[in-house]
Amino acid sequence: TGVLTVVADIDCDGPSRPDAIQSCGRIDCDPRWVNESFVPCSQTCGNGSQSRRVFCQQLLSTGIDVTVPDADCPTVSMPPRSQRCEERNCAAFWRITEFSECSLECGGGTRRRDVTCHQLMASGREELVTTDLCNPATMPVQIEDCNVRNCPPYWDMTQYDECTKECGRGTQHRTVYCQQIQNRGGLIPQVVDDDICIDFGLLRPADERRCQEIDCDPYWNSFSFNTCSRTCGNGEQMRVVRCEQVLGNSSTVIIADERCSVSTMPPRMRRCSQESCPAQWRADPFNPCSQTCGLGAQSRLVVCEQLQASGLVVDVNDFLCPADSKPVVIRTCSAVNCDPEWRALPYGECNVSCGGGIKTRHVICEQLLDSGVTIQVVESSCDILLRPDIQDNCGQVDCKPVWWSNPWQTCSRTW
| CB environment 297-308: b (16+ within 10 A), e (fewer) | ebeeeeebbbbe
Average pLDDT over residues 134-163: 92
- Distance in angstroms (rounded) separating the CA atoms of residues 131 and 153: 45
Average pLDDT, the chain: 88
pLDDT in tens, 291-326: 888 888 899 999 999 988 777 889 999 999 999 999
Residue 336 banded pLDDT, cuts 50, 70, 90:
confident
pLDDT in tens, 14-57: 777 887 776 666 788 999 999 999 999 888 887 788 999 999 99
Kindly report the pTM of this predicted structure: 0.36
- Distance in angstroms (rounded) separating the CA atoms of residues 41 and 75: 25
Helix H or strand E encompassing 199: helix 194-199
Q: Tell me, what's the pLDDT at 1?
A: 62
State percent of the chain over pLDDT 90: 53
* Better-predicted residue by pLDDT, 231 or 154: 154
Report whether 244 contacts 252 (CB < 8 A).
Answer: yes
pLDDT in tens, 365-382: 998 887 788 899 998 899
Amino acid identity, position 76: V
Residue 2 banded pLDDT, cuts 50, 70, 90:
low
Burial of 248 (0-12, 13-18, 19+ CB in 10 A): middle
Report whether 92 contacts 120 (CB < 8 A).
Answer: no
CA-based torsion, 50, 53, 56, 58: positive or negative: negative
Q: Tell me, what's the pLDDT at 186?
A: 59
The least confident of 214-223, 235-244, 252-261, 392-401 is 392-401
Amino acid identity, position 321: C
Q: CB neighbours (10 Å) of residue 15? A: 5
pLDDT in tens, 113-132: 999 999 988 887 889 999 99
Cα 160 vs. chain centroid, distance in angstroms? 25
